[in-house]
Amino acid sequence: MTELKNDRFLRALLRQPVDRTPIWMMRQAGRYLPEYRATRKEAGSFLDLCKNTELACEVTMQPLRRYPMDAAILFSDILTVPDALGLGLYFEEGEGPKFHKTVRSEADLAGLNDIKVEDDLAYVMNAVSAIRKELNGSVPLIGFSGSPWTLATYMVEGGSSKDFANVKAMAYDKPELMHGLLALLADAVADYLAAQIKAGAQAVQIFDTWGGSLSAAAYKEFSLKYMQRVISRLPTEADGRKVPVIVFTKGGGQWLNAIAECGAQGVGIDWTTDIATARVLVGDKVALQGNMDPAMLHASPARIRDEVALILAGYGHGTGHVFNLGHGITPGINPDHVTAFVDAVVELSPQYHLAD
């Protein structure tokens, strides 16, 4: 494989010395970029874009042409695994993802497809390989999946939800059924991420978007336990280099102590958690990723710069910090404000690494 020219993202996740704080941005390939909107129009639909190797590679590269990001992230969707399981993923404009089928009974669970991810999700692996080749060692490539719990919420609810009534009812009233679904998903996600690593992903992130909807006890039982199961099954090295795992539970700041013990090298935090407090809580167990409020990108470049300075100072001196938003960038952001955001991290962070 081509030698990696910029590895500060991987080094920071392993808490190794870096010259400045690395930065990437969740949903950095997305609707805020006019070039992305043009490519999606060419593809015809979001799913067609995900499944077109050339176009998925193109949109992955687009933000890297604009900004000095320290990592690329695979362009795909978190719901590819449930789609392959046979639920029939589709998107309705303005309503988000939906499934033609749901899983709410033992019969539904038994009726899911047996999948071999390298075959049934070959389009994802093709995209990973193409992106890795296109990057040519410039920055690392991040692969990803939804967490078992997050995937289960969509599969049981049939789409997005505000109250998670059906999936929580299953968890609390039919825990054996829920654990059966989560075990199946954990093993599928582990196979999926392992296949991405084999295809060329150099780090992976588990998006636990809806873990924060659970109580503390339920989070550990239904979400964290199954992310640990995923991580325990992943290869730890590829191409002679460690492959770090990042876990991001939106709304999970109150469980940082437990999350830091799950086996991941990095823990993402959203904007509701103070990064200085988070660093004290996790100590030197894991790196931290985050955590500027995505809405801050609506502010002036000067205000964005001040916020970046505040977060960098909050984390303080030393390695183990990957700068990111506290969730994905939203569609209406001015790309020039992203320039201000990234430039501020690049310019202000070296002072925190002088003795590294």
Beta-carbon count within 10 A of 299 CB: 16
Please indicate if the annotation marks 28 as binding a ligand.
yes
Higher pLDDT, 161 or 295: 295
Q: What value does the mean pLDDT take over residues 84-107?
A: 91
Please indicate if the annotation marks 209 as binding a ligand.
yes
Residue 136 has a pLDDT of 97
Q: What value does the mean pLDDT take over residues 134-144?
A: 98
Residue % of the chain over a pLDDT of 70 = 99
From the candidates 36, 67, 154, 192, give the one annotated as an active-site residue: 154
Both tokens of residue 90? 């589709």
Residue 356 has a pLDDT of 56
Find the farthest-apart pair of alpha carbons in the chain and give their distance in angstroms, rounded: 59
Residue 117 has a pLDDT of 96
Residue % of the chain over a pLDDT of 90 = 95
From the candidates 27, 104, 279, 305, give the one annotated as an active-site residue: 27
Residue 355 has a pLDDT of 67
Is 65 a catalytic site residue? no
| 142 has a pLDDT exceeding 60 | yes
Please indicate if the annotation marks 83 as binding a ligand.
no
Which domains are assigned to the chain?
38-281 (3.20.20.210)
Residues 244, 11: Cα–Cα separation, whole Å: 9
Residue 96 has a pLDDT of 83
C-alpha to C-alpha distances, 18 to 203, 286, 304, 323, 350, nearest whole angstrom:
17, 16, 23, 13, 9
In terms of phi and psi (left: phi > 0; alpha: psi -120 to 50; beta: otherwise), the region of 214 is: beta
| 211 has a pLDDT exceeding 70 | yes
CB 338 within 8 A of CB 303: no
What is the residue-averaged pLDDT of the chain? 96
Is 187 a catalytic site residue? no
Residue 138 has a pLDDT of 98
Helix axes 53-66, 335-348, angle to 10 degrees: 60
From the candidates 77, 108, 187, 274, give the one annotated as an active-site residue: 77
Q: What value does the mean pLDDT take over residues 51-64?
A: 98
| 91 has a pLDDT exceeding 90 | no
| 2 has a pLDDT exceeding 90 | no
Residue 261 has a pLDDT of 97
Q: Is the dihedral of CA 263, 268, 273, 274 positive or negative?
A: positive
| 1 has a pLDDT exceeding 60 | no
Is 241 a catalytic site residue? no
Tell me which of 2-6, 129-133, 295-299 is least confident.
Answer: 2-6
CB 130 within 8 A of CB 57: yes
| 217 has a pLDDT exceeding 70 | yes
Please indicate if the annotation marks 77 as binding a ligand.
yes
Is 27 a catalytic site residue? yes
322 phi/psi in degrees, rounded to 5: -110, 115
pLDDT tens-digit map of 250-286 = 999 999 999 999 999 999 999 999 999 999 999 999 9
Is 31 a catalytic site residue? yes
C-alpha to C-alpha distances, 204 to 132, 223, 234, 354, nearest whole angstrom:
14, 17, 10, 28
| 322 has a pLDDT exceeding 80 | yes
CB 203 within 8 A of CB 246: yes
When pLDDT is cut at 50, 70 and 90, the band that residue 335 belongs to is very high
Residues 59, 41: Cα–Cα separation, whole Å: 12
CB 352 within 8 A of CB 317: yes
- Give pTM, 2 decimals: 0.97
